[in-house]
Amino acid sequence: MSIEDKRDQMVEELIPFEDHLERLTYVIDRAKDLPGLKDDYKIDTFLIKGCVSQLWVFPSFKEGKCFYQADSDASITKGTASLLCDLYSGESPEEIIEMEPDFLGDVGITQHLSPNRRNGLTGVREKIKAYAQMQVEKNI
């Protein structure tokens, strides 16, 4: 499945919720089913700065593809960060760098987050793209 197909699938999952609270509840419930990070990875290296909650994004690289896993002490933060991790995981660094996560605004996620949570989400996007860029530079 291409990164565009994954984005479209996420939009299809999120758009039916007419009420933003129902949409956020779905994101929170989705996060509860996701595995957390091992404590070994909950370190400053993977901590996202600018977020009120503790939020970590752990990157890895296998067979030319980047993978990301998020964890947080707040369910809404973990849920929104995991949406980005799911979108970008399994993609090449070049595809990650090119694709913006605009769909979160399109489906009404970012508009209903506090400024601090939006900052955290921006930090997740920056961390994901920086890791992808690092992989591109390693292979030059």
85 is catalytic: no
Q: Kindly compute the dihedral angle of the four CA atoms of residues 85, 91, 97, 102, in this order, to the nearest 10 degrees.
A: -50
92 CB-near residues (< 8 Å, 6+ apart): 64, 65, 66
Is there a contact between 54 and 72 (Cβ–Cβ < 8 Å)? yes
Rounded-to-integer distance, Cα 57 and Cα 124, Å: 7
Q: Which of 51, 70, 76, 83 is catalytic?
A: 51
Can you tell me which residue has the tokens 């009420």?
Answer: 19
CA distance 82 to 30: 9
Positions marked catalytic: 51
